[in-house]
Amino acid sequence: MRFLLALSILLFTAPILAQQNGPYVIYNAKGKKVSYKKMLKQLEKPDVIFFGEQHNNPIAHWLQFEVTAALHKKRDLVLGAEMIEADNQDELRSYLKGKIDAKGLDTLARLWKNHQTDYAPLVNFAKENNLDFVGTNIPRRYANMVYQKGFEVLEGLTDEEKSWIAPLPIAFDPDLPRYVNILSMMGDHGTPNLVKSQASKDATMAHFIYENHPSGKLFIHYNGAYHSDYYEGILWYLNRLNPSIKVQTISTVEQDDITKLSADHIGKADFIICVDANMTKTY
């Protein structure tokens, strides 16, 4: 409890500390420092926000909640996340409506190991404020099937199973820079099907964002930063579904020195949260 209290105090004061080389600094796409207040003002405007996180970064998770709570005062919201798979939507909806409790959700749905610390606060915010929360990701078992056998394997799914993924056939551009980069990062372990597996996630998340975005509402989507960095991944698929949709992106990066954004991170997102690499991890 003392650790949690100390961490909460640190995080509460972070906007002030950030101006004094504290735990994080916010930059815009060009690498210029911006205030939290200015970022929030910009985030009131789009149709969809992609909040890209490092999954074990506590600053990202805290700011996800803070940004969501602040924007709820300005816009009607729909929330959605990579971290809940589409075939668990019924269980998630039952929890939001109070038909099952947190233990029931944990039992019936495949929640991430850090759900309780990092995502439950967002789900509970939706529950307390009667907001929709959409599990957008492809069930992992189908992404694994694509990794083993390519997109074609999805054609053999039942109609119910197909309802949990992007409509087939899934469009795919192997030359997108972020997909090319996956092969480079993975070296001998990288295969075309590995990239297709990533694309099956991106396409499915875009599909469920599009399907669950009522006109006039702001959809906030929480996902690993790689899925939305450089306006690719999910955004490439969402743009195919609706090229006129207005989007803002956030990415989370870690650096030893946060006083200047590394050139490697310039252009990753509209707003880049640069966190001290020494920051405690959630797992």
Domain extents for the chain?
25-276
CA 14 vs CA 44, 58, 191: distances in Å: 22, 12, 41
Q: State the pLDDT at residue 9.
A: 41
- In angstroms, rounded to a whole number, what is the distance separating the alpha carbons of residues 226 and 233? 8
Q: Are 107 and 163 in contact (CB under 8 A)?
A: no
| CATH 3.40.50.11550 correct for 25-276 | yes
pLDDT of residue 8: 52
pLDDT of 216: 96
> Residue 22 has what pLDDT?
84
Looking at residue 88, the DSSP 8-state letter turns out to be G
Strands 271-276 and 48-53: unpaired
Mean pLDDT by 10 residues, the chain (283 residues): 45 47 92 98 98 98 98 98 98 98 97 97 98 98 98 98 98 96 83 96 98 97 98 98 98 98 98 97 94
- pTM attached to this predicted model: 0.92
Peptide bond into 169 cis (omega under 30): yes
Whether residue 202 contacts residue 233, with contact meaning beta carbons closer than 8 Å, is answered with: yes
pLDDT at position 187: 77
Q: Is 180 helix (H, G, I), strand (E, B) or coil?
A: helix
Locate 150 and state its tokens. 């390519």
